Structure 1
């Protein structure tokens, strides 16, 4: 891993022995970053390079400790340990903690097919339940920023729906057109089109067969889903049926937030950490 990565520090709220053994040690061995860890168990991390551990009396204290580490600029990333996601996000959103940066926080996932054939940035599969047009604009901006930070200079952004033309009976198509119109009037160094169906966004043959007139011809870089249900279904379908490594982070706070699950593979957890590092704003 690069030296840039190794200079970053991650504050973990609510770590336990499992997280230390299954995630922190492998990350430290790969020299991805340093860790400031807060947990309620007696854990010895003296054998882990670049790792500090503070034992707390309560879960709330582990969250406060991680937040304070970020506020003091001792850490540039915050990560959820074995605690409820709502606890960490609530602390990040508290006005007095001064960690909110953009108008909207959103989950951005990066999907890398193991055969190297595809890389998609997808949002928002896990945070915003039924976003309105204004929220979808901010979700799109967050996803575009992530795409640029991982090396996509001018991302092609597909605002997904079931159709390619606006149907008043299908709100996702109406919203997609409104979001696309916004970016047409407010350029963001990206190609943003919608409504657009998944097949046209990701398959060149379908785009030609359906005579889609836009610039996206099966080569979308960013997929913006209409709601959390469609995003969650897509995320889990890819996870279970397509050989891939999926990383993700919450974007929109002053620091990236990593929310991994115990069911995630080690590759996905490490990829999420690296994605967060790529999206640190100095």
Structure 2
């Protein structure tokens, strides 16, 4: 069984895409631009090239590729054959770009770097989401992301059928073991957070024992992160909670184990693997016609 399609596809804010591409160009083109293409290709040479999938997976990062081919200079024409979130088989054409050959090659690596990386995340996320699709559980990412690329990587998770946890430290309260150690107890930490938080700010508590879970529930936590618990203990936690809070399992979440975690009855399963351990999807740009 596979995960249900996304009713409203995720989108990336344009300013985030453009900023990421500008940063990538500054890193790759430096002060002199693509000196290899300048040295070997005439200024008026044209080319038609396609980005092709060399293995099966889930496509993501088309907006970044389009922005790269647009920002590199005037005169390139781009046609996409798929959308972010689409599954692709090896040999499938994803995108075609035509125009000035120097511009195509100058933007090639930036476009591919974004697409291979984000497609890898979307592909691995889809594998996790498909593995739990027979349950109500949702796969979530974490804050373990590549610095500077969090918005893009979290977008890729959504394209793969996953869900986003908080984006940063400023959009939700997650009371972890170190907060509890300093605050004094789960009860004291939740009480302080309740006083501080606005009515739209969710409060989640990380626990690693059923005793802490009971304390968090009594304190009124809206969500509880069950850290590194066995499947048996997860089932006990679900029974103890009895719907009083949302439960999130985290820690030692592997593709081999994730289905059994979901079958315990938890609402969410968070893992850093889908962003930090995803292998880039093999995509390549191939020149089809040159002039």
TM-score interval, normalised by the smaller of the two chains: 0.3 to 0.5
Using CA pairs below 8 Å that are at least 6 residues apart, which structure has the higher relative contact order? 2
Tell me the TM-score normalized by structure 2: 0.33
Larger radius of gyration: 2
Q: TM-score when scaled to structure 1? A: 0.34
